[in-house]
Amino acid sequence: MLFIKLKQRLNSTAFLAVASFLIICAAASGKENESLEILFIGNSYTGRHNLSKVVEAMAEAGNPGLEVNVSTVIYGGRRLVDHWRLGTANFVRSHKIGVSEIEKTVASLEKAVAENPKDNHAKSAIKRNQELLDNLDTWRKKWDIVVLQSYRDDLEGETSPYMQYAPKFAKLANDQGARVILYETTPATQNAQPLTEPPEGAFVMEKENSIATLANRIEAQVAPMALIGHRCQSERPDLTLRFVNDAHLNHTMAYLTAATLYAAMFDKSPEGLPVDSITDIRFFKGGDKSRDRDGNSITRVFSKKDRTDLQRIAWEGYSEFERMRRK
């Protein structure tokens, strides 16, 4: 595991700087590969485009000698409050969780299904927790980073469910020396068509101030996608950030998000990374797996200009948020 003991001695900002420096030094010295274990918790905003694997590719490309292993716990349309009910905390604590604790979770979920046979997420969670139980030795790992995705649960300031449940998951992560990254989604501001007028910014800044308060309270890093989406819309109004026929983030927003998560993980710019394409996992109506929901290619290869702009915008937006949170 990477830098677990170091994390226990430093605050999150100092740890991030030192950890990033040591990763670079280890790679430069030709030492045996370091490894990074990352757990993503979210819904389709994490699942689409195999976002975690794009982050993995960027992380390894930007840190030669670093082996990155990503794992995910994803339930469609669910938020952290739902993940808590569905037993996702068991996966965060997989390094030390006992068999009886998992069995207790399964029993609780079975009771929920008995009371509501239409609770399909509980059914999925039973299967997932049973798989954890059956493969507990494989899951016996400490996480270096835990990514907590928001989804329409971060819109009401301090009373938002995300503000209440992110700290619960963060404590479980911090207890094992893991860092936490808050992955803020922004479905309400993603544009399906090129913009002809400047994007509205007051809502974005109000939301980011709330996220900054949370991040400072739990010492987490942030992928502030509302702010970065707004910056992209301002500088590249020709680009769209969601599908027309699907409300999810499109290839462009997925690339921006992965680049921002990279920045948050390593506190360094994604500029110059060679990763140049994004492939979605949802297909065009009719089953044509070569086309996305809007009928375009399922894989988008970004031009050098677009890739350069997106990497720069991700870094500048991340840096702006970091300055804002420390005022």
Q: Up-side HSE of residue 290: CA atoms within 13 Å toward CB?
A: 0
* Strand partners for 132: none
Return the pLDDT at 8: 44
Q: Using 50, 70 and 90 to split pLDDT, how confident is the model at 30?
A: very low
Same domain, 301 and 259: yes
Same domain, 129 and 212: no
Same domain, 298 and 161: yes
Q: Using 50, 70 and 90 to split pLDDT, how confident is the model at 27?
A: very low
Q: Which helix (H) or strand (E) holds 72?
A: strand 66-74
Q: Among the three residues 107, 140, 173, which one is the final residue of a domain in this structure? A: 140
Return the pLDDT at 189: 97
Return the pLDDT at 327: 84
Same domain, 216 and 185: yes
Q: Using 50, 70 and 90 to split pLDDT, how confident is the model at 26?
A: very low
What percent of the chain shows pLDDT beyond 90? 88
Q: Per-residue b/e over 160-181, b at no fewer than 16 CB within 10 Å?
A: bbbbebbbbbbebbbebbbbbb
User: What digits encode the pLDDT tens for the residues 188-199?
Assistant: 999 999 999 999
How large is the average pLDDT for residues 139-155? 97
How large is the average pLDDT for residues 17-24? 52
**Domain count of the chain?**
2
The pLDDT mean for the chain works out to 92
Return the pLDDT at 6: 45
Same domain, 10 and 131: no
Q: Using 50, 70 and 90 to split pLDDT, how confident is the model at 3?
A: very low
Residue 33's CB is within 10 A of a number of other CB atoms, namely 11
Same domain, 39 and 130: no
How large is the average pLDDT for residues 269-287? 95
Higher-pLDDT residue of 21 and 78 is 78
Check if the beta carbon of residue 302 is closer than 8 Å to that of residue 277: yes
pLDDT at 214 over 80: yes
Return the pLDDT at 320: 98
How large is the average pLDDT for residues 127-146? 96
Return the pLDDT at 285: 83
Same domain, 294 and 213: yes
Distance CA 38, CA 57 (A): 13
Return the pLDDT at 14: 54
pLDDT at 18 over 70: no
Q: Using 50, 70 and 90 to split pLDDT, how confident is the model at 39?
A: very high
Single-letter amino acid, residue 23: I
Q: Does the reported pTM lie above 0.85?
A: yes
Return the pLDDT at 230: 98
How large is the average pLDDT for residues 29-53? 88
Closest CA to 143 of 82, 96, 76, 211: 96
How large is the average pLDDT for residues 206-226? 98
Check if the beta carbon of residue 56 is closer than 8 Å to that of residue 147: no
User: What digits encode the pLDDT tens for the residues 288-313?
Assistant: 999 999 999 999 999 999 999 999 99
Give the range among 12-16, 61-65, 89-93, 208-212 with minimum mean pLDDT.
Answer: 12-16
Q: Among the three residues 123, 140, 157, which one is the final residue of a domain in this structure? A: 140
Q: Using 50, 70 and 90 to split pLDDT, how confident is the model at 13?
A: low
Question: CA dist 91 to 38, 52, 87, 133, Å?
Answer: 12, 16, 8, 10
Q: Up-side HSE of residue 41: CA atoms within 13 Å toward CB?
A: 28
In a domain, 84, yes or no: no
Both structure tokens of 230: 């707004």
How large is the average pLDDT for residues 305-327? 97
In a domain, 124, yes or no: yes
In a domain, 86, yes or no: no
3-state SS of 262-317? HHHHHCCCCCCCCCCEEECCCCCCCCCCCECCCCCECEEECCHHHHHHHHHHHHHH
* Strand partners for 184: 224
Same domain, 111 and 72: no
Give the range among 19-23, 270-274, 279-283, 301-305 with minimum mean pLDDT.
Answer: 19-23
User: What digits encode the pLDDT tens for the residues 227-246?
Assistant: 999 999 999 999 999 999 99
* Strand partners for 41: 73, 148
Q: Which domain holds residue 164?
A: 4-78+141-325
Same domain, 24 and 40: yes
In a domain, 83, yes or no: no
Contact residues for 149 (Cβ-Cβ < 8 A; gap 6+) = 40, 41, 42, 43, 45, 46, 80, 183, 185
